[in-house]
């Protein structure tokens, strides 16, 4: 299984010890501000198992994110095929970090690592990033890593009820 290393971060397989902090992260309303709901511990556990199954099958996906110096689990970052229910295809980059890890540049550092992996190892011609129109912090990370906003790909997420979280924006970067 592929691991990615940056100066400060390790993107790695999911471990049993990640389950409690992953559940806490997904139960935090601030972390989940741009999602329709917080997750239960069971939903978080199921997502981590699905992420690991994808890593085992493909060698890439949503990696657990750890601070190398301390070994502290801080969230996830990675690459995943775009969902089937949108009008375009491709591979998207993404990240979700515990609130305690915000404001330290970890999301940008992890995003750069997954973009490099996607282009250099997977030879992807392009990588996308998708978020709600209201998630300005993630959009700032997208811009910092060289992605450009593409208004022609904006869409309403059919899985999200009407409201401020339904509209999604798409950023993209070519190899």
| Two tokens, residue 27 | 């139960």
Residue 83: band (very low, low, confident or very high) from pLDDT cuts 50, 70, 90: confident
Give the predicted TM-score (pTM) of the model: 0.94
**N- to C-terminal Cα distance for the chain?**
24
Nearest to 11 by CA among 89, 116, 103: 116
CA distances from 106 to 24, 66, 68, 75 (A): 19, 10, 11, 10
Is the pLDDT at 22 greater than 80? The verdict is yes
Can you tell me the mean pLDDT for 53-57? 96
CA count, 13 A, side-chain hemisphere, 60: 20
pLDDT tens-digit map of 123-175: 999 999 999 999 999 999 999 999 999 999 999 988 888 888 899 999 999 99
- Report the pLDDT value the prediction gives residue 152, as an integer from 0 to 100: 95
Q: Which residue has the higher pLDDT, 127 or 83?
A: 127
């Amino acid at each position: 299984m592929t691991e990615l290393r940056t100066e400060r971060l390790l993107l790695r397989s999911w471990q049993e010890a990640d389950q409690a902090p992953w559940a806490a992260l997904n139960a935090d309303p601030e972390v989940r501000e741009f999602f329709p709901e917080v997750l239960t511990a069971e939903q978080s556990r199921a997502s981590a198992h699905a992420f690991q199954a994808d890593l085992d099958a493909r060698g890439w996906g949503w990696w657990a994110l750890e601070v190398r110096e301390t070994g502290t689990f801080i969230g996830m970052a990675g690459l995943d095929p775009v969902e089937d229910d949108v009008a375009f295809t491709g591979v998207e980059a993404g990240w979700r970090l515990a609130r305690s890890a915000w404001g330290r540049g970890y999301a940008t550092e992890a995003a750069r690592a997954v973009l490099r992996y996607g282009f250099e190892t997977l030879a992807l011609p392009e990588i996308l990033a998708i978020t709600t129109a209201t998630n300005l912090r993630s959009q700032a990370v997208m811009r910092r890593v060289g992605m450009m906003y593409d208004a022609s790909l904006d869409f309403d997420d059919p899985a999200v009820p009407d409201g401020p979280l339904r509209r999604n924006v798409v950023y993209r970067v070519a190899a």
